[in-house]
Amino acid sequence: MKPTHLSLCSLLVAAVSGLGIFPAWAAEGPDPRQVELAVARLLEQGHYSKKKLDDRFSQRMLKNYLEQLDYNHLYFTQGDVDGFVKRFGNTLDDDILLGNPDAAFTVFEVYKKRVESRMAWAKQLLGEEFSFSGAGTVELNRQKSAWPASEGDADRIWRSRIEGELLQETLNKHKVDPPAKVLAKRYDQVLRYLHEQTNEDVMKTFLNVLALAYDPHSEYMSRSEVETFSINMRLSLVGIGAELSSEDGYAKIQRLIVGGPAAKDGRLKVGDRVAAVAQGEKDFVDAVDMKLDRVVEMIRGKKDTMVRLQVIPAAAEDPSRRDVIEIKRDEIKLKEQEAKAEVIERPLPGGGVQRLGWIVLPSFYADMERSGAPGAKSTTKDVLALLNRLSKEGIEGLVIDLRRNGGGSLEEAVNLTGLFIKKGPVVQSRDGAGRFHVSEDTDSSVAYDGPMVVLTNKLSASASEIFAAALQDYNRAVIVGDSSTFGKGTVQTLLEIGRAIPSVGNGAGALKLTIQKFYRVAGGSTQLKGVEPDVKLPSPFDRSDIGEVALKDPLPYDTVEPVQFSRLERPLFKDELNVRSRTRVGVDPEFSYILEDQDRLKKIVAENQLSLNLQKRQAEIDEEKARKEKRIAERAARKQDVAAGAAAFARPEYKRYAVTLDNASKAELQLVTNEGGKGSEKEGAKPSSDDNGGADLDEVADGAKSVDAVRNESLNILTDFVELSRAGKGPSAANSPRSTPIKRKR
């Protein structure tokens, strides 16, 4: 019987197989033309939008490719751009669908020549004298500026840019080398990176731009990027446990992971440079001037195999010295990215202590390849272990901190929601054909039923938004944070191209493809709009340039019909919590600092100019330094007032006990806050470096330490929530299991 249609993969196999008529490319791995056609067909037929590659698409993609290479409009001239548009503007779609990558390489070769020429010109200019005494300025961000009209226009732009960089290095009080030498090395590094680019790298960039033209979250990934993605999801890798960075042509040891083979061995040190790598007893492969991801790929390998490194020790006085270090590879757990928790003890005004729980969740991770297997990583399993310990400690309220959580596994978002509701639908999804699927929690057990706050910001995205939106729709938790979350309401799948289309061959990378949009059970969408909080707090991340709306070509916002679910009918006291919070925020100096910094940043972005006058710049630096010192002094004074009990705005001092996956089942918890170094500290406890009653400290852009005011106020909101719940018969922690661990059926 003759089939009426072919599957997506069958169509692609047939199309790609016909590419044999073209001459072979001189490149390692799969033919780039086959990969290009495969990616194009997968996007056309598999992407949620079902957009076709046409002339309009060609023009947009060409513009995006030029800006991907030259994002600050510094190297190409308007003449270059006009020439590219004339040659490829209306034919790029046809070339892609024919598997013809000429446009990618032609544009890149012009870009390469422009960069080489500009770096040579810039290094010559470094020999000139600059007075830094005029009224000139340099444009900070040229992404929205016109391309230079001519080479002369480009020279003018670059002259002010180089003058600005020289002035910046002149103002650098910690410099070792003369400013011109620093910049010369920087320009050499630009050229080094440029010359490291292979045909595979060029195609990777081009195909990624092709995917991004469909939406901001579709992406072409190389082999090494696929492995990195997998590592981030399962929170483990097999290697030696060393983080590398690229410096002067060498892979330099940036950090050793605690508990990893290299750290246990002890011979490899931070700052050592890798000159060559060998597998077991095989010959060394020179790693100097090799791309960093290639060096990393050689160092990684199978568990229990040996790798030999030829290194230049950081402490070596003789630059010709080479040490050989042999290390056995092993599995390394990335514990820093796991969920972690704290028990927070806060003194109550009338005496006594209140115990609150705080869980930080960096991402929604899961071991996709070993899902359900014993020992496989799971966000839900880890959070459940932490919750059981927090409940055993008798917490009266809980904060789930999703700030900076960019998402991850959709399944984990659904399962994690299930820890806090009895059962029911969690999220709806719709594919490109209009078919709906509802993801449900089917387990009626609840791990925690007390007062709960979910803390978000503009960097909380995707799975974080599913979780926060579901708990908001169910009336289960109070959402606190920025004016909205990120606004990513789409679902992606990872397609390994070699598996989807075997004729392309192995090593073709993968396509992260947007295949669905997700919707709240109440019918709304998080796409573009995100999740709006019940209580809004000022935040350094609440900016217009962060979020889905700031990205290119996002999918539109829309809504669907709600599904039936059982909303919890109990008070969350949102109006009263807002009134109390606004009163505190209005007199909190830390929030006034945040608002002041936001205003300053808005002004800088709007002006988009930096002075090239030495005196003016020094005055700005002095002003910034004085502002920083004033805040430090004000914080110190407030701390003394708190100690004396005479603060106009006093924060309660409190203690924090760490709850990790390693110690959740142990009898003793580690004290991580110990104000004044005295009191009830336990043996082995270490005081934190906090300067504000146990508040976390964040690094801000200027390098100064700033109190995490959002964290402090979130705890205040939770304390209010607990108090109001007791008085108004809202959610009570007494209903949650404090001593009996919960086991999920799934």
- By annotation, the residues acting in catalysis are 462, 473, 488
331: Cβ–Cβ under 8 A, 6 or more apart, which residues? 236, 237, 238, 303
Contact 514, 47 (CB under 8 A): yes
Question: What is the C-alpha separation between 294 and 433, in angstroms, rounded?
Answer: 40
Tokens representing 728 are 């108004």
**Letter for the amino acid at 466?**
I
Nearest to 247 by CA among 313, 320, 200, 189: 189
Q: Which residue has tokens 């960093």?
A: 292
Question: What is the C-alpha separation between 402 and 79, in angstroms, rounded?
Answer: 47
**What does DSSP assign to residue 345?**
E
464: enclosing H helix or E strand: helix 463-473
433: Cβ–Cβ under 8 A, 6 or more apart, which residues? none
Question: What is the C-alpha separation between 503 and 13, in angstroms, rounded?
Answer: 6
User: Would the CA dihedral through 238, 240, 243, 244 be positive or negative?
Assistant: negative
Backbone φ and ψ for 366, nearest 5 degrees, come out as: -170, 145
Distances (CA, A) of 551 to 230, 276, 405, 491: 25, 40, 18, 16
Contact 142, 72 (CB under 8 A): yes
Question: What is the C-alpha separation between 389 and 664, in angstroms, rounded?
Answer: 6
Distances (CA, A) of 41 to 14, 204, 210, 498, 706: 11, 16, 11, 14, 50
Residue 7 CB burial class (10 angstroms; 0-12, 13-18, ≥19): exposed
139: Cβ–Cβ under 8 A, 6 or more apart, which residues? 145, 157, 160, 608, 609
Q: Which residue has tokens 């200019």?
A: 125
Question: What is the C-alpha separation between 103 and 523, in angstroms, rounded?
Answer: 43
Tokens representing 600 are 């300053």
**What does DSSP assign to residue 288?**
T
Contact 268, 260 (CB under 8 A): no
Contact 339, 359 (CB under 8 A): yes
Strands in 353-360's sheet, in edge-to-edge order, are 535-536, 478-481, 452-456, 397-401, 353-360, 340-347, 655-659, 670-671
